[in-house]
């Protein structure tokens, strides 16, 4: 075999390898659009049933407050970074919906940098991110400051929230919410962590951190659970005469869609 023949064969192999390599590099991954799962249009609304877990009497007793909460896209705006966004107003009512709707706040939402960003009370989170695909992960709290809830709650749950990973848990599916069957729903799973739950030892610290959201095609957010609370033993005295007066601090939210346009 001549040197020329060897060189020619080598060049042929290199060319074939390059062909397959280029083909692999240019292969496209198809994904659904974020706007299909977070439709943004002025006048759109979704009404939720909201169960809010609160700790009253200085954290010694747990209550669940029940409401209807309506989210209405009010207008197109420009966020504080000069990007297009939408302003959403929130309103509360009792569970019958017979009382006047009471405004309780607002937030902005936008689709930028391949992600859905929601900003409320100067806290910005990435709710969804491309590609919409089972198992894809992203750091949804990367824009949050250290201990973002420190002004409201004295707990450790919000330590290192910027490192929390969120992911699409499964492909689109159908779910039941009350009497409704909702199709094309993706689940966004966040942290699911429990420390010493159930609480058996009153002298130790316990906590619960949990986040899940479900988004339906052409509708938006249809279900959400978010728990962030800590059980603190609150000891007093000196050994061996230590006594405990435990309490809980934090909150919990569970909401599901009851109506939309």
**Which residue in this structure is represented by tokens 């929390």?**
164
- Euclidean distance between CA atoms 6 and 75, whole angstroms: 69
pLDDT tens for the chain, 261 residues long, are: 434 344 444 444 444 444 444 444 444 567 899 999 999 999 999 999 999 999 999 999 999 999 999 999 999 999 888 889 999 999 999 999 999 999 999 999 999 989 999 999 999 999 999 999 999 999 999 999 999 999 999 999 999 999 999 999 999 999 999 899 999 999 999 999 999 999 999 899 999 999 999 999 999 999 999 999 999 999 999 888 899 999 999 999 999 999 999
CA 31, CA 163: separation in Å to the nearest integer?
25
Residue 70 · residue 41 · CB < 8 Å: no
pTM recorded for the entire structure: 0.87
The rounded distance, in Å, linking the Cα atoms of 221 and 227 is 17
Structure tokens at 162: 């910027």
């Amino acid at each position: 075999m001549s040197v020329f023949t060897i060189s020619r064969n080598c060049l042929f192999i290199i060319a074939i390898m390059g062909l397959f390599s280029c083909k692999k590099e240019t292969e496209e991954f198809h994904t659904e659009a974020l706007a299909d799962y977070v439709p943004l249009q002025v006048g759109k609304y979704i009404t939720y049933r909201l169960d809010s877990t609160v700790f009253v009497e200085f954290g010694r007793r747990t209550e669940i407050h029940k409401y209807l909460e309506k989210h209405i896209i009010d207008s197109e705006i420009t966020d504080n970074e000069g990007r297009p966004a939408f302003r959403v107003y929130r309103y509360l009512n009792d569970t019958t919906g017979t009382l006047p709707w009471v405004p309780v706040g607002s937030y902005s939402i936008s689709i930028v940098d391949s992600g859905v960003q929601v900003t409320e009370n100067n806290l910005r989170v990435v709710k969804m991110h491309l590609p919409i695909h089972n198992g894809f992960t992203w750091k949804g709290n990367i824009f949050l400051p250290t201990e973002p809830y420190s002004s409201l709650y004295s707990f450790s749950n919000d330590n290192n929230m910027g490192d929390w990973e969120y992911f699409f848990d499964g492909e689109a599916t159908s779910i039941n919410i009350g009497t409704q069957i909702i199709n094309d729903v993706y689940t966004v799973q966040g942290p699911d962590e429990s420390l010493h739950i159930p609480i058996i030892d009153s002298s130790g610290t316990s906590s619960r951190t949990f986040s899940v959201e479900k988004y339906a095609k052409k509708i938006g957010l249809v279900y959400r659970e978010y728990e962030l609370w800590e059980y603190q033993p609150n000891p007093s005295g000196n050994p061996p005469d230590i006594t405990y007066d435990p309490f809980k601090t934090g909150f919990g939210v569970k909401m599901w869609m009851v109506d939309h346009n």
